[in-house]
């Protein structure tokens, strides 16, 4: 509806908002597909599961959004440089913008109610994304209204704002996906909480070489724990397994914990040299 009315009524802002709406539909498709693929269990070629399907989908989606946003910005800028020959915006564009705004606000309220009932953080985030889309439609309505009042530049300016919002969202999606693909660790506060959980495990004397990385919505953890050198192998194993279970119970996002057992003073033991280059 937005595309059809935007073309007929010569509203670039409405067409830009249509691309924003379309990007949300594509995003939801990516999320549904990646979520289903990511939920598949580990297999011979994917021993940690398929969670990174979601990451790959976010990266592709982010790049598409950036390209869409840049295209809208260029088109709107070209219109601003030739306002004298730009066709007048039709009144139908304002009605379409108002309908879109009402629909998106209704979608936000519906999604937020469902998210609250299901206690789903992902749905809450998606609901507020819908609210952001409603704000973009409000910008479009203001731009179209300004154009109808004789400010010919208002529609193109609104298109630029919407294009910028789309590009910004794309950069955010792509950046977050890229950070995950290069195995960026968790924030310091989260790492500290995981460390505290491990240190509180009975039998653990010290913790070092704690490393974390994300895989979609999950977290993978590697850690060395120090135990008394006088205990036997079985007791050391039990302590490491207890530390693993405590972390996975206290931190639901953690998918797996790999625990290496060290003696209480391993500074005298030989270490493998780190080879670079």
Specify whether 17 is located in the same domain as 112.
Answer: yes
- Alpha-carbon distance of 139 to 104, in angstroms, equals 13
SS3 state of residue 256 = strand
Specify whether 140 is located in the same domain as 228.
Answer: no
The DSSP bridge pattern shows strands 218-227 and 206-215 to be antiparallel
Q: Domain ends where: 150, 181, 212?
A: 181
Specify whether 151 is located in the same domain as 252.
Answer: no
So what's the pLDDT on residue 120? Answer: 62
pLDDT tens, the chain, 277 aa long:
888 888 888 887 888 888 878 877 877 777 677 767 766 777 777 766 666 777 777 787 788 778 878 877 887 787 777 767 667 778 888 888 888 889 888 988 998 888 788 776 556 766 777 777 777 788 888 888 888 887 878 877 887 887 888 788 788 878 888 887 777 788 888 899 999 999 999 999 888 889 988 876 778 899 999 898 888 989 989 999 999 999 999 998 888 898 999 887 665 555 666 555 5
Whether 114 maps to a domain, the answer reads yes
Whether 272 maps to a domain, the answer reads no
Specify whether 94 is located in the same domain as 203.
Answer: no
Q: Domain ends where: 164, 181, 198?
A: 181
Whether 151 maps to a domain, the answer reads yes
The domain that holds 245 is classified in CATH as 3.30.70.1350
For 227-241, b where at least 16 C-beta lie within 10 A, e where not — what string? Answer: beeebeeeebeebbe
Whether 270 maps to a domain, the answer reads no
Q: Write out pLDDT tens, residues 37-52.
A: 766 777 777 766 666 7
Specify whether 64 is located in the same domain as 20.
Answer: yes
Q: For residue 68, which of 28, 111, 15, 30 has the smallest C-alpha distance? A: 15
Q: Domain ends where: 158, 181, 204?
A: 181
For 211-221, b where at least 16 C-beta lie within 10 A, e where not — what string? Answer: ebebbbebbbb
Specify whether 99 is located in the same domain as 169.
Answer: yes
- Other beta carbons within 10 angstroms of residue 74's beta carbon come to 12
Contacts of residue 166, defined as CB under 8 A and 6 or more positions apart, other chains included, come to 16, 19, 20, 23, 65, 68, 69, 72
Specify whether 94 is located in the same domain as 199.
Answer: no
So what's the pLDDT on residue 117? Answer: 85
So what's the pLDDT on residue 51? Answer: 67
Whether 269 maps to a domain, the answer reads no
So what's the pLDDT on residue 14? Answer: 82
Rg (CA), the chain: 26
Domain span holding position 41: 2-181
Specify whether 173 is located in the same domain as 235.
Answer: no
Specify whether 258 is located in the same domain as 125.
Answer: no
Q: Is the pTM of this model over 0.85?
A: no
């Amino acid at each position: 509806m937005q595309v059809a009315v935007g073309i007929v009524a010569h509203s670039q802002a409405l067409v830009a908002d249509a691309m924003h709406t379309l990007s949300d539909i594509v995003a939801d498709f990516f999320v549904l597909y990646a979520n289903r693929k990511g939920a598949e269990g580990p297999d011979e070629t994917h021993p940690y599961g398929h969670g990174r399907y979601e990451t790959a989908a976010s990266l592709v989606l982010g790049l598409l959004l950036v390209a869409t946003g840049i295209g809208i910005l260029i088109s709107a800028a070209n219109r601003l440089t030739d306002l004298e020959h730009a066709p007048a915006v039709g009144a139908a564009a304002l009605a379409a913008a108002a309908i879109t705004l009402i629909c998106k606000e209704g979608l936000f309220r519906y999604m937020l109610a469902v998210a609250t009932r299901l206690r789903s953080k992902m749905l809450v985030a998606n609901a507020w994304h819908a609210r952001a889309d409603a704000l973009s439609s409000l910008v479009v309505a203001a731009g179209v209204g300004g154009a109808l009042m004789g400010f010919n530049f208002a529609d193109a300016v609104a298109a630029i704002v919407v294009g910028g919002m789309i590009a910004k969202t794309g950069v955010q999606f792509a950046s977050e996906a890229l950070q995950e693909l290069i195995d960026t660790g968790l924030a310091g506060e989260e790492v500290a909480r995981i460390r505290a959980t491990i240190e509180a495990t009975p039998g653990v004397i010290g913790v070092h070489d704690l490393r974390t990385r994300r895989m979609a919505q999950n977290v993978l953890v590697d850690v060395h724990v120090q135990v008394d050198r006088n205990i036997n192998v079985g007791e050391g194993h039990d302590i490491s397994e207890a530390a693993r279970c405590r972390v996975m119970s206290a931190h639901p996002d953690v998918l797996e914990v790999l625990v290496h057992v060290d003696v209480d003073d391993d500074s005298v033991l030989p270490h493998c040299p780190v080879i670079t280059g």
